[in-house]
A and B are shown apart, each in its own frame.
Chain A
Amino acid sequence: MASLIGSYSLILGFCCSLIIFFFSVRNFKSPKSFDYKILSFTFLQLFFVIVSFIGLIISFINSDFSNETVFNHSHTTKPLFYKISGTWGNHEGSLLLWLLVLTLFIFLFLIKSKKQPNNYRILTSMFQQIIIIGFFIFLIKTSNPFSYIFPIPNEGLGLNPILQDPALAIHPPILYLGYVGSSIIFSSALAATTLNFISKDWAKHIKVWVLISWIFLTLGILLGSIWAYYELGWGGFWFWDPVENVSLMPWLALTTLLHCILALEKRLILTSWVIILSIATFTLSMCGTFLVRSGILNSVHTFANDPERGLFILIFLFSLIFLSLFIFFFFHKNENNNNSFFWLSKESSILVNNWFMMYFLSVVLVGTIYPIFLEVITSEKISVGPPFYNKLIIPFLIPFLLSMAIGPKLKWIKSEIQNKMYLVLFLFISFFISFIIIKNLDINFLINSILLTSSFYLFFITLRDFFIKGYQNLSQNLAHFGFSLLILSILFNNIYSTEVITNLKVGQTFKSKSLIIDFQSIDKKNEKNFQAIIGKFKIKELDNETIILNPELRVYNQPNIITSEADIKTNLLKDRFITMNLVSNQDYFNIRYQDKPFMIWIWLSVLLISFAGLMSLLKKRYEN
């Protein structure tokens, strides 16, 4: 029943799109007053999509296996929480969620943009409806979440156990708010370009949307990363996996856009940058959807491998790209001549930031799609791993961090550096600290010490600004401070992490100079959707208190998969991370114990960065 209602409201929502598009075209021809039918129908469309989404959730809660999506991704023994989160843990449901966010954002946009010119609002709505219509057709034609199966199966196939996790349950909605939020920026930038409305006012108004998408995208990536850390059991938080990369690319574009928008708002410069970045952010999000959903790349996110779906998104994606190219080249007037600025100024520092970001973006882009290109051209398969990214990105982080410290100190148009003394002094202090830290370690001295110096430099400069400048420019300073903290934590984490891999039977003890791992016992536990084998490990480090860790092996009943759950003890200084795995012979387990310093600071610093975004959003005015 719920499925049926959902299915029909999806079609009604699609009809609304066509009606809105029709009214928008009519209204655009005579834009003296805004036609409120557009707003009403946008609301109606949102309502239908919400009904459809709730319909799917209810089908999942009731385990209605006559619905193909529910049959493929749910099971009666699953806890209620994962029945609900299973709604978007699959291709069809997640696209419905995508559509929900698309319609929600255009509705909010129309409400919030009442002060803007009519024709701009109408045109934005029109472009957004083009995207929405595309997704409606995609959903209904190739991935309908309400397909009916007959005869009705008694039991579903179950949700992939590694997706049965709280962090992952909220990861897709948050990430989608970021991805899809960029659609509004895309539509509005196209509309503003067509009408030659790129102005300081426009920048001020669109900045809110940029910030919202940016915050959600940052948090979404963070959640995915946290999940990978404790669920995949390798103890890493970023693997340069294609799927992670496709979320990083829009983030890089969006971060650059955020900086450009500030310049546009103050000085009406960098208009071409802003337009291209607005277009790039959304097309990169779409491109990510294409890459992971078409099955052209293989990952946890590849729910189903259906070339028809891939082809549809591909054609749709490139239609949008060509539409934007057309608008950009034929409507965009080059910026007027007030864009002169001195080399040492805020403008040039933002340009420097842009070029660095574009460099990072191209590295990630090449690393992600080059294997596809190579395979098509030479049918050779390669895989691009962390060494590629590390070698190309890390050296460039150094000047990037330094300019991040200096850039915000500069003024618009022309600037001089004041108080040069403390800038130099801080550099020496940072270098001295790094020198002491690196000196005794067996790693490459030069690159590590310079990298550490530049991160410490940014850290101290921003820290000083908290005291000197107080509330002035607080959100910007906080974001940069968070970034320095992030890089520092990653560096320390890399330098100081230690690992022990060993095989132990129950009752055996592993001893090394600084560590004793005592495998005390194993226990069994039955849960609703899995059986767990829980190990009890007593860990004693030389300079530390004894702790007990309980990693688990979970044997999920539906589908029948064994997963290994890490047990992690976190404190402010370090994470202690243990996993156990079955080995062919039942007698002993493969134990992996890791000591990971400053792990929690990686998460905290990213939280800090997104919090800075939130502050900037809530603040009435951006101070200079």
Chain B
Amino acid sequence: MKIKISPLIYTLIFLIIFFIFYKGLQNSNIYTPNLKIEENIPSFKAKTFNNDKFISEKIFQKDKFYLLNIWASWCVPCREEHSFLTKLNKEEKIKIIGLNYKDDKKNAKIFLKELSNPYDVILLDEDGTVAIEWGAYGVPESFLIYNNKIVKKIIGPINEELLTEIKILIQ
């Protein structure tokens, strides 16, 4: 009996395609750059809002959680995430450090007056170099830090889900 081979081959090819699509579905389609988890935080120098000079080692103490949040007054999604930062600020276990990115100081002050200030310390990054040291991709972006290590990197604004995730992590 002559066995038809081509139908089998085609079926096999389509089965493989099916399998690949099926696998592809389970991958997230949101682009998240590879990041080494538990990376050491970079050391850097920056000015604060009050014009004091700061070295990174002095701000970040061991055994404490910090959230470094990169923001700017011109950034629209930053306004969205602001209310979540304010909520997070009520947690005692975590300190929020703001990194004001390529911003006008006047505008930044108006922004904080209008929406309240959730930050414990605000650092200035007028030319954007500090953000580069951190390997940031854009604004807003947040880094959760513990023991001088980056525990989690959040690209884009913080939302309700991410807020609960952070709360669980710091417990």
Contacts and interface: CB of A to CB of B under 8 A. Distances in A.
A329 B4 contact: yes
A294 interface: yes
Nearest to A307: B25
Interface centre among B11, B21, B72 (most CB of A within 10 A): B21
A373 B20 contact: yes
B4 A290 contact: no
Interface string A357-381: 0000000000000001101110101
Nearest to B22: A314
Interface string A537-568: 00000000000000000000000111000000
A330 B6 CA distance: 11
Given A307-B25, A314-B21, A584-B103, A298 B76 contact: no
B22 A311 contact: yes
Interface string B123-138: 0000000000000000
Contacts of B103: 584
Contacts of B6: 329
A294 B27 contact: no
A329 to B, nearest CB: 4
Given A329-B6, A562-B76, A318 B25 contact: no
Contacts of A298: 29-31
Contact of A372 (B7, B18, B21): B21
A614 B10 CA distance: 37
A325 interface: yes
A322 B14 CA distance: 8
Contacts of A561: 76
Nearest to A559: B80
B14 A325 contact: yes
B26 interface: yes
B76 A318 contact: no
A383 to B, nearest CB: 9
A131 interface: no
B70 to A, nearest CB: 14
B153 interface: no
A408 interface: no
B5 to A, nearest CB: 11
Contacts of A582: 74
Given A314-B18, A373-B20, A585-B104, A296 B11 contact: no
B25 A381 contact: no
A305 interface: yes
A413 interface: no
Interface in B1-46: 4, 6-7, 10-11, 14, 18, 20-27, 29-31
Contacts of B22: 311, 314
A134 interface: no
B74 A294 contact: no
Contact of B7 (A294, A295, A325): A325
Interface string A570-592: 00000000000011111000000
Nearest to B16: A373
A573 B27 CA distance: 47
Interface residues of A, number: 34
A311 B25 contact: yes
B102 interface: yes
A140 interface: no
Given A294-B25, A298-B30, A329-B6, A318 B14 contact: yes
Contact of A375 (B4, B11, B27): B27
Given A325-B14, A329-B7, A560-B76, A296 B29 contact: yes
Contacts of A377: 20
A305 B29 contact: yes
A460 to B, nearest CB: 44
A295 B29 contact: yes
A323 B30 CA distance: 34
A321 interface: yes
B20 A376 contact: yes
Contact of B10 (A325, A379, A381, A583): A325
Contact of A296 (B7, B24, B74): B24
B74 A375 contact: no
Nearest to B24: A372
Contacts of A372: 20-21, 24
A297 interface: yes
B171 to A, nearest CB: 29
A296 B21 contact: yes
Contacts of B14: 318, 321-322, 325
Contacts of A288: none
A310 interface: yes
Nearest to A290: B21
Interface in B72-128: 72, 74, 76, 102-104, 107
Interface centre among B4, B18, B107 (most CB of A within 10 A): B18
Contacts of B20: 372-373, 376-377
A562 B77 CA distance: 11
Interface centre among B7, B14, B23, B29 (most CB of A within 10 A): B29
A594 B165 CA distance: 46
A324 to B, nearest CB: 10
Nearest to B27: A375
Contacts of B30: 298
A297 B25 CA distance: 9
A395 B31 CA distance: 33
A377 B76 CA distance: 37
Nearest to B11: A325
Nearest to A311: B25
Contacts of B29: 295-298, 302, 305
A274 B94 CA distance: 66
A561 B11 CA distance: 47
Interface centre among A297, A379, A584 (most CB of B within 10 A): A584
A51 B7 CA distance: 43
B102 A375 contact: no
Contact of A307 (B26, B72, B74, B102): B26
A440 to B, nearest CB: 43
A295 B30 CA distance: 9
Contacts of A305: 29
B104 A584 contact: yes
Contacts of B7: 325-326, 329-330
B103 to A, nearest CB: 7
A310 B28 CA distance: 13
A562 B107 CA distance: 19
B27 A376 contact: yes
Contacts of A560: 76
A562 B31 CA distance: 23
Given A307-B26, A322-B14, 12 more contacts: A296-B24, A298-B30, A329-B6, A372-B20, A372-B24, A373-B20, A375-B24, A376-B27, A583-B74, A584-B72, A585-B74, A586-B107
26 contacts: A294-B25, A296-B24, A296-B25, A296-B27, A297-B29, A298-B31, A305-B29, A307-B25, A307-B26, A310-B25, A314-B21, A314-B22, A318-B18, A322-B11, A372-B20, A372-B24, A373-B24, A375-B27, A376-B20, A376-B27, A377-B20, A562-B76, A584-B74, A584-B102, A584-B104, A585-B104
Q: Which 3 A-B pairs give the minimum distances between C-beta atoms?
A: A584-B74, A329-B7, A376-B23
